[in-house]
Structure 1
Amino acid sequence: MQTPAPGTLRILHLSDTHLTGDGALHQGTVDTTAALHALLEHLDTVPGTGLVVISGDVSEDGSPESYETVRRTVGDWAERHGAAFVTVPGNHDQRAGFRQVLVDGHVLGEGGQPLVHTMEHHDPSVPVRGQSLVAGRRIVTVDTSVPGAGYGELSEPALEHLRAALAEPSEHGSVVVLHHPPLPAPTALHDALKLRNPEDLADVLRGTDVRVVLGGHYHHHFAGSIAGVPVLVAPGVANDNDVAGAYDQETALVGTGALVVDLAADGSLWSTPVRLPRPDADEQALHLDAEAAARIAAAFGPA
């Protein structure tokens, strides 16, 4: 891959790593720790990465051990490449375990330097939130998870955090990272588990210096916009959602990928999907018929 132009922030955008504390296979089929290691090794020769982002569902089980794995695996990769490392909770994450290891999600700062945090106790009802500065860009993380649910929502405290963070422009604009993207869902199940109030996000973003919103959750690469701001959804590390399948069913294929996102000093933006070559790619990893998908939607969607 080409070296980024001077003044460009190159972001390695990962999502949905679904790591487990005991090494159990995701959905009984995918070793997500091995997939993450293989993907990072594949991306080792990509030059000029300044920021690594994981946009949620870092863990499958919410265990401190799973967060230690991501801190060690992705953190070491970012340190070696002189890159900052930022992550945010998703619907499978548990805020207590996340905070215990990753604190507010801003793990490494510019140049891969560890960030110093004041350890504070927060009730799990309080969204995880943070911001840091990387190459003149303000990186703001917003927690869209709802404890015990699969759908996403921007609570008033989360919205207020975002409003306050974006109140004044930064040198080269801002990047917002969240899990549930403000884009239409590809399947009925994901529609039940989508972000419930994207219009509130749009109201906050409108007229600000935000250059891009980075999200995950859909386990497939999507691109769109909200309030005139580009939205990029990364492929899943754990698997690849079959978006061409029947809408009322849910099928995931074996597949691991990431986005390489380049954000130029003038605000220009482009992204390159990268897929990990693997011999079992595109084998079926999970299939839910319409009845099973509807049961999960009823259990974890809004009441």
Structure 2
Amino acid sequence: MQPLAPGSLRILHLSDTHLTGDGALHQGSTDTTAALDAVLASAEGVPDVGLVVVSGDVSEDGTPASYTRLRERVGGWAERHAAALVTVPGNHDLREGFRQVLANGHVLGEGGRPLAHTLEYLPPSVPVSGQSVVAGRRVVTVDTSVPGSGYGLIADEALDRLRRALSDGEPSDGGSVVVLHHPPLPAPTALHEALRLRNAEAFADAIRGTDVRLVLGGHHHHHSAGSIAGVPVLVAPGVANDTDVVGAYDEESAHIDAGYLVVDLAADGSVWSSPVRVPRPDTDPLAFHLGADAVTRIIDAAG
């Protein structure tokens, strides 16, 4: 891979690891710990990473043990590579377990150094939020999860925190990066559309005209790119599996495949991104398939 340009921040962007505390298979088909290990092994060849991002659905079961797996594996990778580590909850995560191990999601700072956190208890009703500075960029995390539901929503409290974070002091020289789980982009399937971010326009209003240079998300288990309020939005491939985006819209299928993004944010605010596939040829290529009736039942249950 090309050398990092002077003044740029290189980000290793992972998403949807769906780790389990007991090692149970995701959707009965995927060993997500093994998939994560394969992704991290592939990323060993990526030079000059300054920030590692995991944009939600860290866990499948919300157990502290699952978050500890993430902290040990991804945190260990980041520490070895002297990179910061930031993560955010998704719809499969449970805030209590997340906070117990990962605090506010800003786990490691510049150089891979652990960050100090207060021991204040926050109930699960309070969204997880945080910010840190990496290579002159302000990194802000926004919790789009809704306890007990699969769709995304940025609560008024979280929107207020985002606005305050972006207006706190002078705009950062390198701009800001916002990390969330549910991307403010069109969804590739009917199921993901039902589980979309429901107030994307409010998010757009919060970042419009600010120093935000990049939005990173996940949830779709497939790489895509777009923009909102004039800001690039990059969706990482899933670590757990890869959504079949060319299948029937009202059905849902995924392949056993994994990937990640390598993203460079340049000094002038321009963005370069490259997706990397990490295939697993030793497994059945189909992770799961849901027919239209099953998808409809899931959508109805999700509200």
Say yes or no: TM over 0.5.
yes
Q: d(CA) in 1 for partners of 2:260 and 2:165?
A: 27
Deviation at 1:181, TM superposition (A): 0.2
Which residue of structure 2 aligns with residue 9 of structure 1? 9
Deviation at 1:284, TM superposition (A): 0.8
- Secondary structure at the residue paired with 1:67? helix
- The aligned runs of 1:190-209 (5 Å cut-off) are 190-209=192-211
* Partner AA of 1:14 in structure 2: L
* Partner AA of 1:215 in structure 2: G
Deviation at 1:3, TM superposition (A): 1.6
Kept in 2: contact 1:188–1:247 (CA 8 A): yes
Deviation at 1:80, TM superposition (A): 0.3
Deviation at 1:282, TM superposition (A): 7.6
Q: d(CA) in 1 for partners of 2:72 and 2:283?
A: 26
Deviations 1:55-75 (A, max 9, x none): 000000000000000000000
Deviation at 1:277, TM superposition (A): 3.3
* Partner AA of 1:130 in structure 2: G
Q: d(CA) in 1 for partners of 2:113 and 2:52?
A: 13
**Stretches (4+) displaced over 4 A:** none
The gaps in structure 1 that reach 5 residues or longer are: none
- Secondary structure at the residue paired with 1:258? strand
Deviation at 1:280, TM superposition (A): 4.1
Which residue of structure 2 aligns with residue 189 of structure 1? 191
Deviations 1:114-162 (A, max 9, x none): 0010111111010000000000000000000000000000110010010
Question: What is the aligned-residue RMSD (CA, Å)?
Answer: 0.9
Deviation at 1:278, TM superposition (A): 2.3
Q: d(CA) in 1 for partners of 2:140 and 2:210?
A: 13
Kept in 2: contact 1:54–1:87 (CA 8 A): yes
* Partner AA of 1:170 in structure 2: S
Find the partner of 2:293 among 257, 278, 291.
291
Find the partner of 1:256 among 240, 255, 258.
258
| Distance change (3 Å), C-alpha of 1:202 and 1:285 | same
Deviation at 1:170, TM superposition (A): 1.0
* Partner AA of 1:74 in structure 2: V
1:100 aligns with 2:100: yes
Q: d(CA) in 2 for partners of 1:214 and 1:246?
A: 27
TM-score, normalised to structure 1, is: 0.98
Kept in 2: contact 1:255–1:282 (CA 8 A): no
Q: d(CA) in 2 for partners of 1:268 and 1:44?
A: 25
Find the partner of 2:241 among 239, 242, 267.
239
* Partner AA of 2:47 in structure 1: P
Kept in 2: contact 1:212–1:230 (CA 8 A): yes
- The aligned runs of 1:75-86 (5 Å cut-off) are 75-86=75-86
- The aligned runs of 1:3-42 (5 Å cut-off) are 3-42=3-42
* Partner AA of 1:182 in structure 2: P
1:73 aligns with 2:64: no
Deviation at 1:266, TM superposition (A): 0.7
- Secondary structure at the residue paired with 1:16? coil
* Partner AA of 1:201 in structure 2: F
Find the partner of 1:177 among 176, 179, 202.
179
Deviation at 1:111, TM superposition (A): 0.5
- Secondary structure at the residue paired with 2:257? coil
Deviation at 1:298, TM superposition (A): 1.1
| Distance change (3 Å), C-alpha of 1:280 and 1:293 | farther
Residue-pair matches, total: 301
Which residue of structure 2 aligns with residue 126 of structure 1? 126
- Secondary structure at the residue paired with 1:127? coil
